[in-house]
Amino acid sequence: MPMKPDLLLGQTLGFASDPFLTPVVEAAKHVRRGAVLIENGKVAEVGEADILRKAHPEANITDYGDALITAGFVDAHVHYPQTAIIASWGKQLIDWLNMYTFPEEIRFADPAVAAEISESYFDLALANGTTSMCSFCTIHPASVDAFFTEAQARGMRVAGGKTCMDRNAPEALRDTAKSAYDDSRALLEKWHGVARLTYAITPRFSPTSTPAQLEAMGALWSEHPDCLMQTHLSEQIPEIEWVRELFPEARDYLDTYERYGLIGKGALFGHAIHLTDREKDRLLESGSSLVHCPTSNTFIGSGLFDMEGLKSDGQIVGLATDTGGGSSFSMLRTMAAAYEVGQLRGAALHPAQLYWLATQGSAQAMGMGDKIGNLASGMEADLVVLDLASTPAIAQRERRANSFWESLFPTIMMGDDRAIREVWVGGQKV
């Protein structure tokens, strides 16, 4: 017996194109009284409620009233093992890693810790409407097993990988070039392509990998080019100076990856704030992705990502929480921070651009833009339903709105998990 399709009613928002590159009126598709037909885990149709209701009298109807149905949020750079140390006070990047992050990541030597934090992380992500993410794990293979096991149980499309470090980290968090290669390869063979899971080869960042380890990671990626590769790039000035000392032969920070085959399509570079012209050129030419982490960049004191400049150059850009460096699990809060960072650089990002970044932008950065991150027929049915009047402060502002964008913007700026009315993953209500 085929399953009855689901028909969700509400406002709908999807994108026909990138609102940074085409005018918002062409790029964004908003339907005031819309409907989404879900069949076999996918979005079969998006359209007017009246029309789809008549065409599909057999469907199970869920009427969300004035709530907004969109693609679920996609967080393109997160550290699930840092869930419990989010909002740790008073340090900038290198000290923050040494004082808070590394001691917490050492705890993941215990698979029970990894399982517990992974469960807690996925609960928080889904409560915030995040249906896909690309996560760092720890150096421990069991931390990767815990992440993928939890994601698979929840039917989610996610990417992640073992974080590799063979220097400048505590002994308990160091692998070697060879063990990083062997363990990453074994994990990749175990998980990549299983259900909705994607493996991301994960050297943490150049300061914690020797050239030999970066070379091994590059070799592994060239043997498995359909995997992703994720790392950090040019987040903080002292970090960049340190990279210069550690790699005196490199032309710049990006070159410490480039010379080992770690740039290109499927490479995700978190932060990418303080870039030289050569780095920007190579990122663009190679088809690498940049990931903007605005709550982290302000919280850790890293700097102001040049969204307008990089997008107008044609770079592939995603948006991310970077928790626990970031200060929130919410992609709504992250959009708000992206707006604020834009303002500090003199560019007011349109709500359509913010929303696109948090969904399709991140999905494209992860090479999954044809599967997730948009409300359109043929996409996988990972959806979020937003209450656009979720708190008294938001509701009173929303009542004064004169357009759809004006009614959405207060939720982008002031919304949190209370705005998440419902989440669907793979065509199932969570």
- For tokens 């993410």, the residue is 133
- Tell me which of ligand GUN, Zn ion, none is bound by residue 204, counting a contact when its beta carbon lies within the kind-specific cut-off of 5 to 8 angstroms: ligand GUN
Pick 324 or 351: Cβ nearer ligand GUN: 324
- Tell me which of Zn ion, ligand GUN, none is bound by residue 205, counting a contact when its beta carbon lies within the kind-specific cut-off of 5 to 8 angstroms: ligand GUN
Both tokens assigned to 207: 């300061």
Q: Show contacts with ligand GUN in window 307-326 (CB under 6 A).
A: 322, 325
**Is residue 207 a contact point for Zn ion (CB under 5 A)?**
no
- Tell me which of ligand GUN, Zn ion, none is bound by residue 306, counting a contact when its beta carbon lies within the kind-specific cut-off of 5 to 8 angstroms: none
**Is residue 202 a contact point for ligand GUN (CB under 6 A)?**
no
**Is residue 373 a contact point for Zn ion (CB under 5 A)?**
no
Element (H, E) at 197: strand 197-203
Question: How many residues does this entry show for the chain?
Answer: 430
- 3-class DSSP state of 298: helix
- Tell me which of Zn ion, ligand GUN, none is bound by residue 166, counting a contact when its beta carbon lies within the kind-specific cut-off of 5 to 8 angstroms: none
Least gap, CB of 159 to Zn ion (angstroms): 14
Least gap, CB of 154 to ligand GUN (angstroms): 24
**Is residue 204 a contact point for ligand GUN (CB under 6 A)?**
yes
Q: Which residues have CB under 8 Å from 365's CB, separation 6+?
A: 76, 268, 289, 290, 291, 316, 317, 318
Helix ranges restricted to H, 287-386 = 294-299, 307-313, 331-344, 351-356, 362-365
The count of other CB atoms within 10 Å of the CB of residue 276 is 15
**Is residue 234 a contact point for ligand GUN (CB under 6 A)?**
no
Q: Show contacts with ligand GUN in window 30-59 (CB under 6 A).
A: none
From the list 56, 79, 157, 196, which residue makes contact with ligand GUN (rule: CB under 6 A)? 79
Least gap, CB of 179 to Zn ion (angstroms): 22
Q: Show contacts with Zn ion in window 4-43 (CB under 5 A).
A: none
Helix ranges restricted to H, 128-223 = 141-153, 177-191, 211-223
CA dist., res. 250 & res. 279, Å (int)? 12
Least gap, CB of 358 to ligand GUN (angstroms): 19
Pick 101 or 359: Cβ nearer ligand GUN: 101
Helices 211-223 & 177-191 angle (0-180, nearest 10): 30
Q: Which of 198, 254, 249, 247 is nearest to 231 (CA)?
A: 254
- For tokens 């917490």, the residue is 104
Residue with CB nearest ligand GUN?
A: 325
Q: Which residues have CB under 8 Å from 167's CB, separation 6+?
A: 174, 207, 208, 209, 210
CA dist., res. 167 & res. 206, Å (int)? 10
Please work out the total of residues on this chain that contact Zn ion, with binding judged by CB under 5 A. 2
DSSP strand pairing (420-425 vs 428-429): antiparallel
Measured at the alpha carbon of residue 373, what is the angle toward residues 372 and 375, in degrees to the nearest 5?
95
Stretch that binds ligand GUN, among 93-101, 138-146, 332-340, 411-419 (CB under 6 A): 93-101
CA dist., res. 113 & res. 169, Å (int)? 20
**Is residue 101 a contact point for ligand GUN (CB under 6 A)?**
yes
**Is residue 205 a contact point for ligand GUN (CB under 6 A)?**
yes
Pick 264 or 294: Cβ nearer ligand GUN: 294
Least gap, CB of 126 to ligand GUN (angstroms): 22
- Tell me which of Zn ion, ligand GUN, none is bound by residue 101, counting a contact when its beta carbon lies within the kind-specific cut-off of 5 to 8 angstroms: ligand GUN
The count of other CB atoms within 10 Å of the CB of residue 211 is 16
Q: Show contacts with Zn ion in window 304-343 (CB under 5 A).
A: 322
CA dist., res. 213 & res. 203, Å (int)? 8
**Is residue 296 a contact point for ligand GUN (CB under 6 A)?**
yes
- Tell me which of ligand GUN, Zn ion, none is bound by residue 380, counting a contact when its beta carbon lies within the kind-specific cut-off of 5 to 8 angstroms: none
Q: Which of 296, 394, 324, 330 is nearest to 129 (CA)?
A: 330
- Tell me which of ligand GUN, Zn ion, none is bound by residue 320, counting a contact when its beta carbon lies within the kind-specific cut-off of 5 to 8 angstroms: none
Least gap, CB of 183 to Zn ion (angstroms): 20
**Is residue 270 a contact point for Zn ion (CB under 5 A)?**
yes
Q: For the chain, how big is the Rg over CA atoms in Å? A: 21
- Tell me which of Zn ion, ligand GUN, none is bound by residue 296, counting a contact when its beta carbon lies within the kind-specific cut-off of 5 to 8 angstroms: ligand GUN
Summarize as ranges the residues that interact with ligand GUN (CB under 6 A). 79, 93, 97, 101, 204-205, 232, 235, 296, 300, 322, 325
Summarize as ranges the residues that interact with Zn ion (CB under 5 A). 270, 322
